[in-house]
A and B are shown apart, each in its own frame.
Chain A
Amino acid sequence: MQSVESKILYNDRLAEGYFRLGLSWKTPEVKAGHFVMLRLSDGMDPLLRRPFGVFRVIGAKGKSTRGTGIELLYRVVGRGTTILSAKRPGESLGILGPLGNGFPAPQKGRKVVMVTGGMGIVPLYLLAQRLPEGTLLFGARSKKETFLLDEFRELGIKIKTATEDGSAGVKGFVTALLEKELSTDTVVYACGPVGMLKAVSRLCLDAGVQCFVSLERSMACGIGVCLGCAVRTINHEARENRNYKMVCSDGPVFDGKDVDWELL
């Protein structure tokens, strides 16, 4: 964990409203599912840092791209990300991280199924890079919202898509695809909109399949001290079995069966 200034290596438009951001960083070891907090402006408004997952580590293995560091992927949704999208290579950003627990590695022999939609794809790429094989189920409203699938294919990951309007893959929700993938030796990793995570988690619970979800909450500190990013969890062993965990420091990855979905 460190708090440093980092140079922007590139900030390329990927699609309308989507960007890839390369940051120069003498990266401490990054696990799949880790995130960083970025200071997007030196001013007082927006005030707080913003959390972003790590998409991949760059330039690490000799065949250097445009520097050494990490690559993030973001969608412009508000003021902070709009400011970020206007930044140019050479400018610097405060970076705090790597933060969070990350995804636990799958046990030997488990069949890995990743489920995602939207920006949820970010932490799964780093996970996929480190897997011998696996399947990615991508859910979106339409074909327009599916992206990076070729990059997953290059990693040897099998891809299946579901779109609500049927413009790519099967028509319907990603959970319909998931149902067909579940067997007792499956482990599921999911990151995406909360409604999707809830459905995925329920499906896995019913099927007795282990499922890890990466959650998002508004954050102020990112390091477990403001207690702002709480989610309620269920401890199945304890009598006083409902309590709050911090998404930034206890998570962002949780076992789906431990999350109190009613409160999300």
Chain B
Amino acid sequence: MGTPLKKKLPKKPLEVAIAGLKFKNPVMTASGTFGYGAEFAPYTGLEKLGAIVVKGLSLYPRQGNPGPRIVETPCGMLNAIGLQNVGVDEFIEKKLPLLKDVKTHVIANIFGETIDDYMEVARRLDRVKGVSALEINISCPNVKKGGIVFGTDPQEAFRVVSAIRKSTSLPLITKLSPNVTDIKVMVKAAEDAGTDAISLINTLTGMVIDVERRRPVLATATGGLSGPAIRPVAVRMVWQAAQAAKVPLIGMGGIMNARDALEFIIAGAAAVQVGTASFIDPDAAAKVASGIEEYVQRHGVSVRELTGSLKLA
């Protein structure tokens, strides 16, 4: 009896394996909140991250939506950026080389308005040195065509992921939308289509009205809600997804610190992504990683063991 035997911590307690790749720690940046990565070099150690997930890439450059594009909400923010990005070719030529000496994985987040778009973006990134995996955004709520349909209809999700599966040899992470009734159905659709992992959640659709002017604050009326306000919803969805999923999950939604990240891991995520928090503190993701390390040491348990370790009464 007495003090419990402290279990010996396995080697590399922070390391996780997802989609055939090894990540030095389970903390990644969330797409659209970390630019193309290099922008953060003055403020944080990029090599402290498990992976950098870059802004969503489309086949051609995109202008994005008129402003206002963002508005703060209680413990969160709404955004309607409209997926502005430099396009896949300029990313490969100009942005990716800036990360070539950074010792971490780079994951390209991709989207399209048609299945052909998605396939072509995936094909252009295939065998590009420095890209470790693709994250497929089927869940962005801001684009009129495409996005929302793929993300909320399991048949469409299956079609687009299967098509991409055929266009690339890169590991695939399918990013799911929370704007659905049953997340398990979407998990199953992505798995059947051959995804190697699943990330969730993208933003929740929301709206803010300026009552003096009786107009929506955002130029597009609605936008995507992110930040700590969505965290309980995100944890719940990761937990539900974990009950159905065979592939590893990457959890996100309102993670501000290591404690928040651990909720996702205990609920069933193999890794996490830090999004909006990077706007408030550009070093947030690296701090989450060091906080998890501290927890792992203190509890004598690896991240791999923690994943899905939730105790239910």
Give the interface SS of chain A, mostly helix, strand, loop or mixed. loop
| Minimum CB–CB distance for A166 against chain B, Å | 28
- B17-36 CB contact bits vs A (8 Å, 1 = yes)? 00000000000000011110
Stretch in contact with the other chain, from B75-83, B90-98, B189-197 = B75-83
B256: nearest chain-A partner, CB-CB: A44
B116 beta carbon closer than 8 Å to chain A: no
What is the size, in residues, of chain B's interface with A at 8 Å between Cβ atoms? 36
Stretch in contact with the other chain, from A169-177, A206-214, A220-228 = A220-228
Q: Which of A98-155 contact B (CB under 8 A)?
A: none
Stretch in contact with the other chain, from B5-13, B104-112, B124-132, B274-282 = B274-282
Determine if A45 and B67 form an interchain contact, defined as CB atoms under 8 angstroms apart: no
Determine if B43 and A244 form an interchain contact, defined as CB atoms under 8 angstroms apart: no
In the complex with contacts A227-B81, A228-B81, A243-B63, A217-B68 CB distance below 8 A = yes
Determine if B76 and A229 form an interchain contact, defined as CB atoms under 8 angstroms apart: no
Determine if B280 and A217 form an interchain contact, defined as CB atoms under 8 angstroms apart: no
A65 beta carbon closer than 8 Å to chain B: no
| Minimum CB–CB distance for B24 against chain A, Å | 23
Stretch in contact with the other chain, from A17-25, A46-54, A81-89, A197-205 = A46-54
Determine if A45 and B75 form an interchain contact, defined as CB atoms under 8 angstroms apart: yes
| Minimum CB–CB distance for A101 against chain B, Å | 15
A178 beta carbon closer than 8 Å to chain B: no
| Minimum CB–CB distance for A238 against chain B, Å | 13
Chain B positions within 8 Å of A226 at CB level: 32-33, 70, 79, 81, 279
Determine if B64 and A230 form an interchain contact, defined as CB atoms under 8 angstroms apart: yes
Determine if A3 and B283 form an interchain contact, defined as CB atoms under 8 angstroms apart: yes
Give Cα A47–Cα B71 distance, bound, in whole angstroms: 11
Chain B positions within 8 Å of A3 at CB level: 43, 281-283
B294 beta carbon closer than 8 Å to chain A: no
In the complex with contacts A96-B282, A223-B282, A226-B79, A47-B67 CB distance below 8 A = no
Chain B positions within 8 Å of A263 at CB level: 66-67
Determine if A218 and B79 form an interchain contact, defined as CB atoms under 8 angstroms apart: no
A231 beta carbon closer than 8 Å to chain B: yes
A80: nearest chain-B partner, CB-CB: B72
Give Cα A47–Cα B77 distance, bound, in whole angstroms: 8
Q: Which of B235-292 contact A (CB under 8 A)?
A: 256, 276, 278-283
Give Cα A12–Cα B63 distance, bound, in whole angstroms: 43
| Minimum CB–CB distance for A28 against chain B, Å | 11
B159 beta carbon closer than 8 Å to chain A: no
Give the size category of A's interface with B.
20 to 34
Determine if B67 and A48 form an interchain contact, defined as CB atoms under 8 angstroms apart: no
Determine if A1 and B43 form an interchain contact, defined as CB atoms under 8 angstroms apart: yes
A2 beta carbon closer than 8 Å to chain B: yes
Chain B positions within 8 Å of A44 at CB level: 75, 227-228, 256
B42 beta carbon closer than 8 Å to chain A: yes
A31 beta carbon closer than 8 Å to chain B: no
Chain A positions within 8 Å of B283 at CB level: 3
Q: Which of A16-66 contact B (CB under 8 A)?
A: 39, 44-49
- A224-249 CB contact bits vs B (8 Å, 1 = yes)? 11111111100000000011100000
Query: Which residues from chain B sit less than 8 Å from chain A, CB to CB?
Result: 32-35, 39-40, 42-43, 55, 63-72, 74-77, 79, 81, 84, 227-228, 256, 276, 278-283
Query: Which residues from chain A sit less than 8 Å from chain B, CB to CB?
Result: 1-3, 39, 44-49, 94, 96, 217-221, 223-232, 242-244, 263
9 residue pairs of the A-B complex, CB under 8 angstroms, read A49-B279, A49-B280, A96-B43, A217-B67, A220-B70, A226-B81, A227-B55, A228-B81, A230-B64
8 smallest CB-CB distances across A and B, nearest first, come from: A228-B70, A225-B35, A221-B279, A44-B75, A220-B279, A44-B228, A227-B81, A45-B75
